[in-house]
Amino acid sequence: MKRKREDMEIVWQTPANPPERQDYIFRNGVRYVKPYYFEFISHVKNRWAGKTIVDLFAEEFKGRPYEYYVSAVKCGRIQVDGQVVPVSYIVWSSQKISHFLHRHEPPVMACDVSILQKEPDVLTVCKPASVPVHPCGQYRKNTIVGILQAEHDLAPLFPIHRLDRLVSGLLILARSASKADLFRQQIEAGLVQKQYIAKVIGVFPEDEQVVNLNVNYNAREGRSTVEVGDCCDGNDNKSVKGKSACTKFTRISTNGTHSIVLCEPITGRTHQIRVHLKHTGHPIANDMLYLSEFVTDRSSEGLSADRAAVKSSHSLTSNSHENSINGSEENSIEDFSIDLMCTNCPNLAPKGYDGNEEGLWLHCFRYTGPDWIYECPYPDWASLS
């Protein structure tokens, strides 16, 4: 018999609580995480000092209404230095603030994280699009590292490079800190070559194209722009904004409408391949962020740039018909408890998210080092037949 909410013990999770297989819910091709209680910790910045605890949260964390923060302080879900405080409490610099929150992680596509090679000190996997590599932002369990720990009992893991969340392909993870350091030393020394493929619009030129343009990432807008700079020699041009960036492109095939292009980034800047391909006049064919010049301000809603158009939440009460995902039955939601104070319940996903997301046609397929090479199969979209 199911216990009433008032009889249930709230278990606050920390990084010491590893993700487990039963933490995930699969529905309609989407992987969700069951909401869980989590302690978010921050320290009072100088510009926050002198504000009341409620005003601080209402002004700095606009994702929830003012009334929620009043209630959270009153019931002790927001504490200062481990103590319950009144709503009029004035915070001071460096104090520790804890926010005990019913956490709803964003969903990701419900694709397997397939293991390519499993060696004593190295693990390589094929990363599905939409899944971040490691905990960041609102993601913790819905990450490559979290899924591998939950479903394959693989931990600890040390990613030696990163792939953007919407990019798929080869991901190399060291199984020890010492091996990770060795990989990073080789990368920093310029001894590692990276190769991607992309499906772009139009007939890409037959000759090799080298784009040598600084990349300037705007975190507020969630996108990059390019500016002319002298980059391939490794020296930043101080007269322009952004960071030096150089990418080599070679056409693999074309059908007159799209082209498959080999992308070899010499540097590793945010959205480098995407924005350099846009500069050539052949953007990635499904990259809505760089296909359109129209950019809205994403900061007000706290969404990443590639999710800004997604506005609806996926309700737990919808889609009651059970489908099969990856050969297994979808999870029951009977053990998901609703938190009456939570501003996201009864939905699985946070407000503003749903599962209607497509991976970019950009895929990492090879990393080559001084005495090693790791590869990943091409995705289905790489065939233009």
| Lowest pLDDT segment from 21-25, 212-216, 349-353, 371-375 | 349-353
Please state whether beta strands 78-80 and 83-84 pair in parallel, antiparallel, or not at all (unpaired). Answer: antiparallel
Within 8 A by CB and 6+ apart from 95, the residues are 43, 44, 80, 81
- pLDDT for position 14: 80
- pLDDT for position 305: 34
Hey, which residues are catalytic here?
A: 164
Between 318 and 109, the higher pLDDT residue:
109
Cis peptide before 159 (omega within 30 of 0): no
CATH of domain 36-103: 3.10.290.10
Instruction: State mean pLDDT over 248-267.
Output: 97
- pLDDT for position 239: 57
Distance CA 101, CA 40 (A): 7
Q: What are phi and psi of 90, to 5 degrees?
A: -95, 130
Distance CA 31, CA 142 (A): 8
Percentage of residues in the chain with pLDDT exceeding 70? 82
**pLDDT (tens digit per residue) in 210-225:** 999 999 999 888 899 9
Residue 294 has pLDDT above 60, yes or no: no
Give domain limits for the chain. 36-103, 192-286+359-385
Distance CA 99, CA 64 (A): 13
Residue type, 197: I
- pLDDT for position 211: 96
**pLDDT (tens digit per residue) in 163-198:** 999 999 999 999 999 999 999 999 999 999 999 999
- pLDDT for position 10: 75
CATH of domain 192-286+359-385: 3.30.2350.10
Instruction: State mean pLDDT over 368-378.
Output: 96
Q: Are 146 and 19 spatial neighbours (Cβ–Cβ below 8 Å)?
A: yes
Where residue 230 falls among pLDDT bands split at 50, 70, 90?
low
**Of the ranges 149-158, 222-231, 356-365, which is most confident?**
149-158
